[in-house]
């Protein structure tokens, strides 16, 4: 059974600081997703990482994937209050080129960025 572990689960930080959220998973996969969820809202796709060594950046967020270590990171640079949200990583173990099997989610990281 695939397990996806995120840490930390709660993070309170000050604006301007840097921090990293970690996502470990237990089964071979080369497809890893990061989502943002604001309170009462649905999921917003942040990054889709599709291969070992993939690195993607959008604004103050950067995500990377190491499939050999089964680890993905979401790095926040110079945090701002607007980044406060819950961040989920999710893993897809569908065979490449085959039908989709859906995603297995981590528990989420509740991030609060204080001015």
Using rule CB under 8 A, residue 69 touches other proteins: no
Q: Does 95 bind other proteins (CB under 8 A)?
A: no
Contact status, residue 43 vs residue 114, Cβ threshold 8 Å: no
Q: Is 3 in the site for other proteins (CB under 8 A)?
A: no
Of 33, 63, 65, 76, which lies in the binding site for other proteins, with binding defined by CB under 8 A?
A: 33
3-state DSSP: the chain helix, strand, coil percent, rounded to 5? 5, 50, 45
With beta carbons less than 8 A apart as the criterion, state whether 12 and 112 touch. yes
Instruction: List contacts with other proteins (CB under 8 A).
Output: 31, 33, 35, 40-43, 45, 48, 50, 88, 90, 92, 99-108
């Amino acid at each position: 059974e695939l397990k996806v572990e995120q840490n930390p689960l709660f993070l309170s930080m000050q604006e301007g600081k840097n921090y990293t959220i970690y996502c470990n998973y237990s089964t071979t996969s080369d497809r890893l997703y990061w989502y943002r969820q604001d309170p009462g809202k649905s999921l917003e796709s942040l990054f889709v990482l599709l291969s070992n060594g993939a690195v993607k950046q959008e604004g103050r967020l950067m995500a990377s994937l190491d499939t050999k270590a089964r680890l993905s990171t979401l790095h926040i640079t110079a945090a701002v209050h607007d980044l406060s949200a819950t961040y989920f990583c999710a893993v897809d173990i569908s065979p490449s080129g085959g039908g989709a099997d859906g995603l297995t989610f981590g528990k989420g990281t509740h991030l609060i960025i204080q001015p």
